[in-house]
Structure 1
Amino acid sequence: MSFVRDLLRRHFVDTRPLQIPDYRRLLGGQAVAFVGFQLTAVAVSAEVFTLTKSSLWVGLLGPVALIPLIVFGLWGGAIADAMDRRRLLLTASMISWSATLVLVVNAFTLQNVWVIMAAVALQSTGFAIASPTRNAIIPRLVPRELVPSANTLNFLFSSIGSVLGPLLGGFIIAGGGYGFAYLIDAVLFTASLYAALRLPRLDPQGEVTAPGLRAVAGGLRYIMATPVVLMSFVVDIIAMSFAMPRALYPEMTEMRFGGSGIAYGWLSAAIALGAVAGGLFSGWVGRVRRQGLALTFVIAVWGVTVAAAGLAQALWLVVLLLAFGGFADLVSAVWRQTILQTYAPDAMRGRLQGVFFVVVAGGPRLGDLRAGATASSFGLVPAWVGGGLLCAVTVVVVGLAVPAFRRYQVRS
């Protein structure tokens, strides 16, 4: 029996942070709301493609969301270092919720692609403020030694939402239409609002910097002066902007799988399926010490598996390859997030989380634009496969070229 317990501790996800009530509610509310968020993301891409019949239009969702992500992600992180984080999280959540309601009304009435674009921009604004705020809250709720485990649980449950949302989306869009999908998101989002309401007051600790350009610049200077932190951002930008195939799912569904909504749901959920597996079997992640080399390796694996998925013809094989890439992406995300949360003092943590959020959320949107534009110019397969291979080659060259990152070992 002791052997079994030891095996579970070493190889399966660490659930000790769930013993902390505030963290447990925050995680639960985020997990439920994220199912709806992913459901909306799938429905938006599909609705835009239905209205325009163009992957370029689907790709344009990327920059429409990216601009608010950059502006409000950086500014939101600075605000999170200067005010009660609970109140800021509630305000940002209400902004995102209102955007979902706009999508509901538009789907049942106007069906206008420009309204969709405006709603996506508004949703990104709320999301850009809420996400770094929520991540900056975690080290205030759990002991330092449990931060990596808390991050793994966050990514695990977000990945579960990324599986359930798209899979449900395939059925819901086929049976009830886009408006019904957005309505479900609006209902599920109330779980996140409840979790934020139950948090304690979380005033800033240490010296407070006014949340303006000076505060943002201070966070950026810290990143630029810390090569390991800087490279953790760079390799993620390479991974997402070069290899993310998300904007090509509608076109692949139509070309290879007869436009099946179920196939589209599986494609949209595939990467998250692999991330769920990575989270469940994550006990080893915290024991890897050469994390610079490890990050380079797993992102190269991500690029190669995405490229292989673009060549596969059977749906099951495409899903399997994307899932393997998702496994690698989850492991990478845990290491990068933990570096930021444990290196930074609390007074700087919100700003660094703001930059982290901009990179994590903005990178895939750059990838959407790249994928949509190259598919329109060169076709589906060159856009998909070429991006994955370019990611793998570039991350190896860049990752090995920076000695501090190449030699980096996790602090004991």
Structure 2
Amino acid sequence: MSLARSLIDVRPLRTSPVFRRLLIGRTVSVLGSFMTMVTVMYQVWDMTHSSVWSGAVGLAQALPMVGVSLFAGAWVDRADRRRMFLLGTVGSAACSFLLAVQGFAGHVPVGVLLALVAVQTSFAAIGAPAAGVFVPRLLPKEQVAAGLALNQVSGQAMMLLGPAVAGVVLGWWGIGVCYLLDALSFGLSFYGAYGLPALPPEGEKSRPGVHGVLDGLRFLTGHRVVRGALLTDLAATVLSMPASLFPLVNAERFGGDPRTLGLFLSALAVGGVAATAFSGPVTRLARPGAVMLCASGTWGVALALFGLTTSAWAGLGMLVLAGAADAVAVLSRTTIVQTRTPDALLGRVTAAETIVGQAGPHFGNLRAGVVAGWTSGATALVTGGVLCLLAVTGVALTTPELRDRAATPDDEP
């Protein structure tokens, strides 16, 4: 296989100027969002020196995402998706601007800061289901996976770059400038989407309110392949999420060296970026279900082996492998969702996928912490990895449609 075919497929950048603009805007906006995430954590800790308030930041982000997403998905499936995305972008930018104002002003109650974070997350929950239809509507079907891979690798790169840039900006210019740069970054995201044509739902529009939400949930529970994809993701995150165990395992096995802990946290991201950068064969292979199952099983095995190793370098290797497997699994899952879901339901299904992606890791970290409290960090890692592998095997055995053939949207109602 040639090196060119091994690298990430960049055909969407060459063939679609609209997608290229969207990707550039999204990349800059994601960079700004990671800067704001770090800045909020820094500011809350600086204001309170309380781990409880620091934990409330995650709550202020998770609750609106879960609470707003499903209804936003039904709303998106009734309206022009382009307008909905622009609404979410403008609202998020306005919240970042208000965060910048309070950052320059100082002496703002921490509750006001968290309220702004919650409102901004609510606008993001509106924009995310709308953005979920862009790739399958703008690219030919054979390039959808490649477009999703480009989105993913740009997001992972900004996840690595954003915190570092935030640290530099915070050190030189302070909190207000960091928030202001995020507000400005939404300008490119707005520009990328403003030139899109109208993108109303294709097919029957969503029913209003709860009825539309229930229609989306019925599709999720009735469509075996999409349901299997989301269950596989939940198995990987809820049963074997490792991040909350890193400090404990570092203390148990490696003397609590902060440098080792930092490498653990970076290794997953490095593996993810590397796997996505060489995702060409994966996106050209028209069997995302089989790829997702194999990658999710590899994630569980790698984390179990990480829990067993006493060598820091071997452990880092296992985490790089786990990060690579996770990136491939997420890319394959998103490809399944966006190619198997009818356009009229895509906003609601994307919203559900967002909730799974947001809530799963939180529950997974909670599970890991509870098990580690009863036993040890290594035991929590090993048992979680084994349970993940067993759950993924169960999904594969009970959902042959997921593992046996390529995804087409018309096989099931």
Length-normalised TM-score, structure 1: 0.83
Please point out which of 36, 40, 61 is paired with 1:65.
61
For structure 1, which segment, 164-173 or 183-192, has the greater mean C-alpha deviation from structure 2 after superposition? 164-173
Report the CA distance shift for 1:369/1:323 in structure 2 as closer, same or farther (over 3 A): same
In structure 1, the partner of 2:183 is 186
Pairs within 5 Å for 1:41-60: 41-49=37-45, 58-60=54-56
Q: Conserved in 1, the CA contact under 8 Å of 2:306 and 2:315?
A: yes
Please point out which of 9, 31, 44 is paired with 1:14.
9
Displacement of 1:354? 1.6
1:31 and 2:27 correspond: yes
SS at match of 1:284: helix
Please point out which of 296, 299, 312 is paired with 2:296.
299
Deviations 1:249-278 (A, max 9, x none): 7899999455x8x975x6655433322211
Report the CA distance shift for 1:78/1:71 in structure 2 as closer, same or farther (over 3 A): same
Q: Conserved in 2, the CA contact under 8 Å of 1:46 and 1:250?
A: no
| Unpaired segments ≥5 residues, structure 2 | 409-413
Displacement of 1:78? 1.6
1:218 and 2:218 correspond: no
Pairs within 5 Å for 1:242-261: 242-246=239-243, 256-257=256-257
1:348 and 2:322 correspond: no
In structure 2, the partner of 1:238 is 235
Deviations 1:364-391 (A, max 9, x none): 343455567777x569946973685365
Separation in 1 of the partners of 2:119 and 2:366?
Answer: 19
Q: How many equivalent pairs are there?
A: 403
In structure 1, the partner of 2:143 is 146
SS at match of 1:204: coil
Report the CA distance shift for 1:379/1:114 in structure 2 as closer, same or farther (over 3 A): farther
Question: What amino acid is the match of 2:228?
Answer: M
Separation in 2 of the partners of 1:21 and 1:42?
Answer: 32
Report the CA distance shift for 1:252/1:184 in structure 2 as closer, same or farther (over 3 A): farther
Separation in 1 of the partners of 2:164 and 2:306?
Answer: 19
Displacement of 1:54? 6.0
C-alpha root-mean-square deviation of aligned residues, in Å? 3.6
For structure 1, which segment, 116-125 or 88-97, has the greater mean C-alpha deviation from structure 2 after superposition? 116-125
In structure 2, the partner of 1:118 is 115
Report the CA distance shift for 1:69/1:7 in structure 2 as closer, same or farther (over 3 A): same
Please point out which of 154, 157, 162 is paired with 1:160.
157
Deviations 1:270-318 (A, max 9, x none): 4333222112101111355664453233223323444666788998877
Pairs within 5 Å for 1:311-350: 321-350=318-347
Displacement of 1:134? 0.7
| Unpaired segments ≥5 residues, structure 1 | 1-5
1:104 and 2:97 correspond: no
Q: Conserved in 1, the CA contact under 8 Å of 2:249 and 2:378?
A: no
Separation in 2 of the partners of 1:115 and 1:315?
Answer: 42
Displacement of 1:136? 0.9
Separation in 2 of the partners of 1:256 and 1:314?
Answer: 14
Report the CA distance shift for 1:312/1:382 in structure 2 as closer, same or farther (over 3 A): closer
In structure 2, the partner of 1:3 is none
Length-normalised TM-score, structure 2: 0.82
Percent identical pairs in the alignment equals 33
Q: Conserved in 2, the CA contact under 8 Å of 1:89 and 1:129?
A: yes
Q: Conserved in 2, the CA contact under 8 Å of 1:76 and 1:132?
A: yes
For structure 1, which segment, 78-87 or 167-176, has the greater mean C-alpha deviation from structure 2 after superposition? 167-176
Report the CA distance shift for 1:263/1:33 in structure 2 as closer, same or farther (over 3 A): farther
Higher relative contact order (CA 8 A, sep 6+): 1
For structure 1, which segment, 196-205 or 154-163, has the greater mean C-alpha deviation from structure 2 after superposition? 196-205
Pairs within 5 Å for 1:390-405: 392-404=388-400
SS at match of 2:190: helix
Displacement of 1:87? 1.0
Question: What amino acid is the match of 1:82?
Answer: R
Report the CA distance shift for 1:292/1:195 in structure 2 as closer, same or farther (over 3 A): closer
SS at match of 1:77: helix
1:274 and 2:271 correspond: yes
Question: What amino acid is the match of 1:234?
Answer: L
In structure 1, the partner of 2:128 is 131
